[in-house]
């Protein structure tokens, strides 16, 4: 998941919501702001300009929750004053005095949101969640004051119309176009009555998004499965030690804790011999937000869907999907559904084959069971061993987190000419002792490019999953800004002195998120807006980087046994390659089910919608296999309902995967394969450096020489290529 956190005036709510945040109470706050007005800019560290080495760095070691609210209020006021000055400029609207002026505004707010993002994603607490709830409506009102500023929009529109005739440079035309479209899509041309309702809807949604995400986090923190020594059958020693530490951290010495996160749940379901416990852990995880209690999200989802439909109706759209996809690569929901439906039949057909193989093993063992969702990973592992003589535990013994990080640095050096050097502890402030920092420089020139922060381990208050974000993005229009980027994961923290061993899937995810960081570091754009991206395209670059995990230089030099230090034997490498299409039915179906559900929910009439019933009926229509569930069930589908980052856009991973498979063929066919310098240079020039300064379709054609085809994707997954 990629969160590029360069704040943009008209898109503030989308950015905040995606990071899981938000709220208001007017009277007393006005007085507090007035009292602090003269001192906050210097005394509130969240507002201060960043100081220290590397062009200044966030003061993570000094941030406090109680500073968040006054910092937000002060920064919003400063930004609104900046916007008013632009909107009321007596001079005729030009690119410089309108668009560039907007690009320069909001620096204080950018800094505050860096800290806000850390608290919301990495270091949440009950105290911070109170701030979220309180500030959500205020942030929404702030956004509306900008997006509905009539004078500002008229100036933007003037520049937009003139840009069709003026001799603006290509990136300038692009930033004008994106700015105009964002304002127009967010109601800038509505009449006053509709603008008022539009703002009210955004305010309501901001509160619902916050409640949704906090409910999921509450269920992740509240449901922990504790087991004893007699219930460890099938689990590896490193995993047992990690579960023991998780229990000890929660005051349960002598027990073992399976927390309600994917990184803890997944290996337990894969290896544990205790079927009843597998069922319990599975149900805990997949019922998040769906337990019929104070943290249940079903009613919230219905409200969100109604409000989204009403909001786009004000703009003349029949449904949210039509509005949302108009400026994406897919352009409309029909094209997105066409791609998903082309892959879906092959995916569920493969699931039937996979289940048959698993059921045969269970029957042979005399288990007298029918494969259920909590059995899928466990018996898939048995099938893997039988079909390919491939033991995932054996593979994990060669996948050490530290070595994988070194492998990623190696790949970045080969493709991007980057060097990563550790920053001495204490030189750069961090928000948690687990966080480590590296300086990124150009290998040839030694030029400083930025800093890379890594926060690898799960902990209470940290949202689940893996993601990348920026604290400062690259721009050149106002003096060159170097990049501060981070990767965040939820690996189970090992016992002291023990290595972190991960699955092949987790290793791919680690590479994937690092791909986002490389996208940030390689940016060559002038304007902050152009550091954004199109959702069904920005996952492509990171998905492509996953391919380097299985290249020979990485395997031979970095995938070494955690005890012996010996490289992975060729026999095991071959087994991995032979099994490359194994379990693709499961992987593709669980993902596509979520993507299809996302789209169908937003195409449906939300009136009188019962979320659980709709989910069941839609899956039945799709002929979803009973032996697995969606990767993200609707009540905890944070991509879609804790904000709008992936709403009607979760299909984007599949869209991007088509590009990934197609682009990977270019490297596979190159003289020097995945390390071909000529192809790597084209990769950086056309697919990484432009960010959103170039239309994604045009950028891909410049790299590939044509549009992407679905054939390579189907071949990669071992599916038959659909006929035209």
CB-CB contact of 703 with 686 (8 Å): yes
**Residue 191 CA, distance from chain mean position:** 35
- Are 17 and 645 in contact by the 8 Å Cβ rule? The answer is yes
Residue 488's H or E segment, with its range, is strand 483-491
Mean pLDDT of 35-43: 47
Torsion angle defined by CA atoms of residues 260, 266, 269 and 272, in that order, rounded to the nearest 10 degrees: -100
Dihedral over Cα of 267, 269, 272, 278: its sign: positive
Residues 6+ apart with CB under 8 A from 552: none
Question: Domain 401-535 is in which class?
Answer: alpha beta
What distance in Å separates the CA atoms of residue 124 and residue 132, rounded to the nearest whole number?
A: 10
Mean pLDDT of 295-306: 98
474, two tokens: 């690259």
Q: If DSSP codes are grouped into helix, strand and coil, which group holds residue 298?
A: helix
Closest by CA position to 415, among listed 377, 442, 453: 442
Query: Of 15-29, 74-88, 220-234, 469-483, which gets the smallest average pLDDT?
Result: 15-29
What pLDDT is recorded for position 165? 84
Residues 6+ apart with CB under 8 A from 638: 20, 212, 213, 216, 463, 632
Distance (Å, whole) CA 323 – CA 314? 11
Q: Angle at Cα 374 formed by Cα 292 and Cα 542, nearest 5°?
A: 90
- Residues 13 and 210: their CA atoms lie apart, in Å, by 11
Distance CA 397, CA 561 (A): 6
Question: How does 126-145 read in b/e, with b if 16+ C-beta sit within 10 Å?
Answer: eebbebbbbbbbbbbbbbbb
Structure-token pair, residue 617: 């009926």
Question: Element (H or E) spanning 258, and its range?
Answer: strand 256-258
Does residue 105 register a pLDDT over 70? Answer: yes
Rg (C-alpha) for the chain, rounded Å, is 25
Q: What is the DSSP letter of 104?
A: H
Q: How far apart are CA 50 and CA 608, in angstroms?
A: 50
The pLDDT, as a whole number, for residue 14 is 38
Half-sphere exposure for 598 (CA within 13 Å, toward CB): 32
The span from the CA of 283 to the CA of 69, in Å, is: 37
Helix (H/G/I), strand (E/B), else coil: 439: strand
pLDDT value of position 479? 80
DSSP 8-state secondary structure symbol assigned to residue 226 = E
pLDDT of residue 724: 62
Examine the pLDDT at 221 and tell me if it is beyond 50.
yes
- The pLDDT value given to residue 495: 86
Q: What is the mean pLDDT of residues 141-170?
A: 93
Q: Give the whole-angstrom CA distance, residue 296 versus residue 281.
A: 18
374-406 residue pLDDT tens: 999 999 999 999 999 999 999 999 999 999 999
The catalytic site residues sit at 513
Give 181-206 pLDDT, tens digit per residue: 999 999 999 999 999 999 999 999 99
Rounded average pLDDT over 670-697? 96
Where residue 254 falls (left for φ over 0; alpha for ψ -120 to 50; beta otherwise) is left
Residue 418, classed as helix, strand or coil, is: strand
**Residue 310: pLDDT band by 50, 70, 90 thresholds?**
very high
Q: What is the pLDDT of residue 166?
A: 77
Contact 351, 589 (CB under 8 A): yes
**CB within 8 Å of 224: residues ≥ 6 apart:** 250, 257, 258, 259, 260
Question: Per residue in 498-545, pLDDT tens?
Answer: 999 999 999 999 999 999 999 999 999 999 999 988 888 989 999 999
Which neighbouring-strand residues pair with 486?
A: 453, 469
Q: Report the distance separating Cα 245 and Cα 436, nearest Å.
A: 21
Q: Report residue 17's pLDDT band, with 50, 70 and 90 as the boundaries.
A: very low
Q: Identify the three-state secondary structure at position 94.
A: coil
pLDDT exceeds cutoff 60 at 35: no
Average pLDDT over residues 287-298: 97
Burial class of residue 51 in the structure, from the number of CB atoms within 10 Å of its CB (0-12 exposed, 13-18 middle, 19+ buried):
exposed
Cα angle for residues 355, 359, 362 (degrees, 5° grid)? 140
Q: Where are the beta strands (DSSP E) in 281-349?
A: none
Average per-residue pLDDT in the chain?
92
Q: Report pLDDT for 8.
A: 41
Confirm if 261 and 488 have CB atoms less than 8 A apart. Answer: no
pLDDT at 34: 39
Q: Which helix (H) or strand (E) holds 14?
A: helix 12-18
Of 500, 413, 487, 475, give the one whose Cα is nearest residue 451. Answer: 487
Angle CA 199–317–9, to nearest 5: 40
For the chain, the structural domain boundaries read 2-147+149-189, 224-286, 401-535
Supply the pLDDT for residue 20.
32
Q: Which of 347, 302, 335 is nearest to 622 (CA)?
A: 347
CA distance 635 to 320: 19
**Tokens 């008209």 label which residue?**
10
Determine contact, residues 275/374, Cβ cutoff 8 Å.
yes
Check pLDDT > 80 for residue 27: no
117 vs 471: CA distance, rounded Å: 9
The number of beta carbons lying within 10 Å of the beta carbon of residue 97 is 15
Fold of 2-147+149-189: 1.10.1370
Share of the chain above pLDDT 90, in %: 88
Per-residue pLDDT, averaged over 85-109, amounts to 97
Beta strands in 473-623 (DSSP E): 483-491
């Amino acid at each position: 998941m990629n969160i590029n956190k360069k704040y943009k005036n008209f898109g503030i709510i989308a950015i905040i919501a995606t990071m899981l945040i938000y709220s208001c109470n007017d009277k007393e706050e006005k007085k507090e702001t007035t009292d602090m007005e003269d001192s906050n800019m210097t005394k509130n560290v969240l507002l201060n300009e960043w100081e220290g080495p590397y062009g200044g760095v966030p003061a993570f070691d000094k941030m406090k929750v109680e500073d968040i609210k006054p910092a937000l209020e002060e920064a919003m006021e400063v930004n609104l004053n900046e916007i008013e000055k632009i909107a009321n400029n007596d001079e005729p609207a030009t690119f410089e005095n309108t668009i560039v002026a907007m690009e320069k505004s909001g620096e204080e707010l950018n800094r505050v949101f860096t800290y806000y993002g850390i608290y919301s994603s990495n270091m949440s607490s009950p105290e911070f969640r109170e701030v979220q709830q309180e500030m959500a409506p205020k942030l929404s009102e702030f956004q509306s004051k900008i997006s509905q500023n009539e004078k500002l929009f008229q100036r933007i529109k003037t520049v937009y119309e003139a840009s069709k005739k003026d001799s603006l440079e290509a990136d300038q035309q692009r930033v004008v176009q994106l700015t105009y479209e964002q304002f127009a899509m967010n109601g800038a041309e509505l009449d006053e009555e509709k603008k008022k309702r539009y703002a009210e809807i955004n305010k309501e949604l901001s509160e619902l998004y916050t409640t949704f995400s906090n409910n999921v986090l509450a269920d992740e923190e509240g449901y922990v499965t504790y087991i004893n020594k007699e219930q460890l059958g099938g689990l590896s020693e490193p995993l047992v030690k990690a579960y023991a530490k998780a229990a000890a951290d929660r005051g349960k010495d002598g027990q073992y804790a399976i927390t309600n996160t994917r990184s803890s749940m997944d290996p337990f379901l894969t290896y544990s011999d205790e079927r009843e416990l597998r069922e319990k852990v599975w149900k805990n995880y997949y019922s998040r937000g769906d337990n019929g209690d104070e943290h249940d999200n079903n009613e919230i989802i219905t409200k969100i869907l109604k409000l989204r439909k009403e909001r786009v109706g004000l703009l003349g759209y029949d449904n949210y999907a039509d509005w949302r996809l108009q400026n994406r690569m897919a352009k409309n929901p029909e094209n997105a559904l066409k791609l998903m439906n082309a892959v879906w039949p092959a995916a569920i057909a493969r699931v039937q084959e996979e289940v048959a193989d698993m059921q045969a093993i269970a029957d042979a063992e005399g288990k007298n069971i029918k494969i259920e969702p909590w059995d899928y990973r466990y018996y898939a592992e048995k099938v893997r061993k039988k079909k390919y003589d491939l033991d995932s535990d054996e593979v994990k013994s060669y996948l050490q987190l530290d070595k994988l990080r070194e492998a990623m640095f190696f790949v970045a050096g080969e493709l991007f000419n980057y060097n990563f050097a550790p920053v001495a502890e204490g030189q750069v402030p961090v928000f948690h002792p687990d966080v480590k920092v590296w300086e990124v420089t150009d290998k040839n020139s030694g030029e400083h490019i930025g800093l890379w922060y890594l926060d690898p381990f799960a902990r209470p208050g940290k949202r689940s999953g893996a993601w990348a974000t920026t604290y400062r993005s690259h721009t050149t229009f106002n003096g060159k800004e170097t990049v501060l980027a981070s990767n965040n994961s939820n690996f189970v923290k090992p016992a002291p002195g023990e290595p972190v061993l991960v699955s092949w899937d987790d290793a791919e995810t680690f590479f994937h998120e690092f791909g986002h960081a490389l996208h940030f570091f390689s940016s060559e754009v002038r304007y902050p807006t152009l550091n954004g991206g199109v959702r069904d395209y920005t996952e492509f670059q990171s998905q492509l980087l996953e391919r380097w995990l299985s290249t020979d230089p990485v395997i031979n030099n970095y995938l070494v046994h955690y005890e012996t230090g010996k490289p992975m034997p060729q026999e095991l490498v071959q087994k991995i390659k032979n099994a490359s299409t194994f379990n693709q039915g499961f992987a593709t179906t669980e993902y596509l089910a979520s993507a299809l559900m996302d789209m169908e929910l937003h195409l449906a009439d939300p009136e009188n919608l019962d979320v659980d019933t709709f989910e069941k009926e839609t899956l039945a229509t799709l002929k979803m296999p009973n032996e697995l569930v969606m990767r993200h069930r609707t009540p905890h589908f944070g991509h879609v309902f804790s904000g709008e980052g992936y709403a009607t856009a979760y299909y984007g991973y599949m869209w991007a995967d088509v590009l990934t498979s197609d682009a990977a063929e270019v490297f596979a066919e190159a003289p020097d394969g995945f390390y071909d310098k000529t192809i790597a240079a084209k990769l950086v020039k056309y697919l990484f450096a432009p960010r959103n300064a170039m239309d994604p379709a045009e950028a891909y054609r410049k790299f590939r020489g044509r549009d992407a085809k679905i054939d390579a994707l189907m071949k990669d997954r071992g599916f038959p290529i659909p006929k035209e």
